[in-house]
Amino acid sequence: GDSVTQMEGPVTLSEEAFLTINCTYTATGYPSLFWYVQYPGEGLQLLLKATKADDKGSNKGFEATYRKETTSFHLEKGSVQVSDSAVYFCALRPNAGGTSYGKLTFGQGTILTVHP
């Protein structure tokens, strides 16, 4: 079955440091890939997405590129801020529709803490 593996956390960085959170996946076909963020005490928010190979999703300074050859979707940000402290989830969803409609498969989440 489909699966998503994220780098183990937690990750602790100083403000303005470079961030990478690794995400690799296993899926049949060509899924859509997502990064969701969960700020303390809040629900999930979509951060960015990519729906086909070589697409780059970007939002709020975060980027991730859909790499089919390495089955990866690593999240990067050039300069993190204290306000980026949150839990980040990588997820995939088959594009085929049908019985896979709405069925996101999530990674285990990575806790990011950014210090001033």
Partner 1 sequence: SAVISQKPSRDICQRGTSLTIQCQVDSQVTMMFWYRQQPGQSLTLIATANQGSEATYESGFVIDKFPISRPNLTFSTLTVSNMSPEDSSIYLCSVGGGGTETQYFGPGTRLLVL
Encoded tokens for 37: 């963020």
Q: What number of residues does the chain have?
A: 116
CB of 97 or CB of 116, closer to partner 1:
97
Binding site for partner 1 (CB under 8 A): 32, 34, 36, 42-46, 49, 51, 89, 93, 95, 97, 101-104, 106-109
Write down the least CB distance from residue 1 to partner 1, Å.
10
CB of 30 or CB of 67, closer to partner 1:
30
CB of 17 or CB of 59, closer to partner 1:
59
Write down the least CB distance from residue 57 to partner 1, Å.
11
Burial of 42 (0-12, 13-18, 19+ CB in 10 A): exposed
